[in-house]
Amino acid sequence: MEYSQIPGTDIKISKLAVGGMSFGKPAFKTYRWILDEDATDAMVQHALNLGINFFDTANVYGAGTSEEFIGRSLKKHQVSRSAVAIASKVYFNPGRLSREAINREIDGTLRRLGTDYLDLYIIHRFDYDTPIEETMEALNDLVVAGKVRALGASAMYGYQFQNMQHVAEKNGWHQFMAMENHYNLLYREDERELIPICKQDGVMLMPYSPLAGGHLTRPSWNSDSARSKTDTSARAKYDAAEEQDMPIIKRVDELAQQHGVKMSQIALAWQWAKGVTAPIVGATKRQYLDDAAAAMDIKLTPDEVAYLDEPYTAHEIVGALDQNPTDMLPKSVEN
């Protein structure tokens, strides 16, 4: 395993993160494929055995049970808190990113994880209802209080991220040091503004969906997996662009055959070639983590990266929101 650090800190992170959305009790039909507590425990421990120490979850995953399962696995096996880096998120909750909501939700997250602090606290989306100043001051106060070691943000528009960073800088508050955005070979819209802003400001990239909900792991669009059949959220992200994305998938398959590796490994190698620090892999089988770890040995040439990049065409925005959802979650998740 290779390691890096969250910028501006001494927090050691593996260059792969384990996605906690794959763990917990399925609170919605679209997540019927996620792992129960025993399977989560096995997956967490397998990740640690591979040298993966970076875990990303959220207060909303499994309605909080993802955090509980991860926390109990670490406690059960007496894993030293300093040996792991844990990230969680806030936004899809009552009050969104208000001061009251942030203070309430961080305490709930820490309680469920069974820890006194988070290594990284991420705002899950941009909040259109709460003043930026209120959000950034509340987040800063968590760092000062020792409940959070570093701050991050997730999918949003570039100008929104820059505005939040500017408010923090102007007031001498802690800024975001990580961006968890939607980024993969089939969705690269953030290369226009958000990613250049992050790179300019030294903010690390830790994208979710690096394998595009499984589409970058097989030469065909659909599969017989439980997730492919039930994950309406993934379908909402990708199905509309199937025709324009299949040429990219064919090239991933072609390069995988040339290298004698799996398509998923080419897709992950592309992430690191693009300057990503730690793509988040949502694994439901040990083999998926084995494959992801082995992908670190694959070094794509600039010509190979260009070959994978070439067929891409503009996509509809998927990830950043134009307004807060009317309910707590987007409709694609509530199905």
Q: Each residue's pLDDT tens digit in the chain (335 positions)? A: 999 999 999 999 999 999 999 999 987 666 677 899 999 999 999 999 999 999 999 999 999 999 999 999 999 999 999 999 999 999 999 999 999 999 999 999 999 999 999 999 999 999 999 999 999 999 999 999 999 999 999 999 999 999 999 999 999 999 999 999 999 999 999 999 999 999 999 999 999 999 999 999 999 998 776 666 566 677 788 999 999 999 999 999 999 999 999 999 999 999 999 999 999 999 999 999 999 999 999 999 999 999 999 999 999 999 999 999 998 777 655 43
User: Which of 125, 34, 42 minimizes the C-alpha distance to 76?
Assistant: 42
Read off the tokens for 311: 């067929």
The pLDDT, as a whole number, for residue 233 is 73
Mapped onto helix, strand or coil, the DSSP state of residue 233 is helix
First to last CA, the chain: 38
The pLDDT, as a whole number, for residue 230 is 62
Residues paired with 148 in a beta bridge: 118
Q: For 77, phi and psi rounded to 5 degrees?
A: -100, 10
Q: Say if CB 122 and CB 156 are below 8 A apart.
A: no
**Per-position b or e across 1-16, b if 16+ CB within 10 A of its CB:** eeeeebbeeebbbbbb
Helix and strand counts by DSSP (H, E) for the chain: 13, 10
Read off the tokens for 69: 């399962």
The number of beta carbons lying within 10 Å of the beta carbon of residue 186 is 25
The pLDDT, as a whole number, for residue 235 is 76
DSSP line for 249-273? HHHHHHHHHHHTS-HHHHHHHHHHH
Read off the tokens for 222: 């659909």
Residues paired with 85 in a beta bridge: 54
- Which active-site residues does the annotation give? 61
In angstroms, the CA 243 to CA 133 distance is 43
The pLDDT, as a whole number, for residue 232 is 66
Residues paired with 182 in a beta bridge: 208
The pLDDT, as a whole number, for residue 334 is 42
What is this structure's pTM?
A: 0.94
Cα distances (Å, whole numbers) of residue 9 to 12, 179, 263, 274: 8, 15, 34, 22
The pLDDT, as a whole number, for residue 118 is 98
User: Which of 141, 157, 145 minimizes the C-alpha distance to 194?
Assistant: 157
Read off the tokens for 193: 């503004």
